[in-house]
Amino acid sequence: MTVLFISDLHLETDRPDITRAFLRFLEARAPGAEAVYILGDLFEVWIGDDAMDEMQHRVAAALRRLAGQGTQVYVMHGNRDFLIGQAFCRLAGCTLLPEGSIVRVENEAVLLMHGDSLCTLDEGYQRLRRRLRNRFSLWLLPRLPLGVRRRLARKLRNASQNQTRQKASEIVDVTPAAVRETMTAHGVGTLIHGHTHRPAIHEVALEQGRGKRIVLGDWDRQGWVLEADRRGFRLESFPLS
């Protein structure tokens, strides 16, 4: 059976072309797949399940239709939408996966991550990540007034974009040592992640032999999907229109 992996769609109302492309993907490409894994940043921003707009409701309904056809749908938090909760998952008919989940693909153990935790050279981002993702923050943020959440989301988004432009490319990419340590700790030979927007398949030298790291692409000028079946893994791009 076919399994599909995608990430970093960054769906937002200002990019209706990406939303249309994703809805077509769910209608035409995803049906018949055993599972679809969305490895973070499905949405550009998510301030809480209680603040869904019309576009987000349409996406949830489309995911639910796909799940109703027999395809299992899994969603993982990204750095933009880490407040997605169980209310959204119930609407979308999907399962929320924790970071660092191991799944079996054609009887191979595969580690799934969003990938931002692997960018260990970006110390400022990692400090911010720890502050936003600790237990207290995850409890508090959804309980703030909607207006406060919207202002905070805009501030964090603008700061992230400005800082990324100012940082060297190797700082905002994953750290090879972190990749090897993580794969070794989980005992896997294959890692799939997104976040960096640098789609590629890399060889990784592990103590137990050669492994591979597959980086999913972001949906911007084109869409990206990783297809896995008995023939192996194939990373493909396709036009949005």
The whole-angstrom separation of Cα 185 and Cα 136 is 27
Strand partners, 226: 5, 235
186 is in an annotated binding site: no
41 is in an annotated binding site: yes
10 is in an annotated binding site: yes
3-state SS class at 96: strand
212 is in an annotated binding site: no
Residue 76 vs residues 81, 98, 165, 170: alpha-carbon distances, Å: 9, 6, 26, 25
Q: Is 222 exposed, middle or buried (0-12, 13-18, 19+ CB in 10 A)?
A: middle
The whole-angstrom separation of Cα 66 and Cα 27 is 8
Sign of torsion over alpha carbons 130, 173, 177, 213: positive
218 is in an annotated binding site: no
Q: Is 218 exposed, middle or buried (0-12, 13-18, 19+ CB in 10 A)?
A: buried
80 is in an annotated binding site: yes
114 is in an annotated binding site: yes
193 is in an annotated binding site: no
8 is in an annotated binding site: yes
The whole-angstrom separation of Cα 16 and Cα 102 is 33
164 is in an annotated binding site: yes
Residue ranges at the known binding site for substrate:
79-80, 122, 160, 164, 167, 195
Residue ranges at the known binding site:
8, 10, 41, 79-80, 114, 122, 160, 164, 167, 195, 197
Residue ranges at the known binding site for Mn(2+):
8, 10, 41, 79, 114, 195, 197
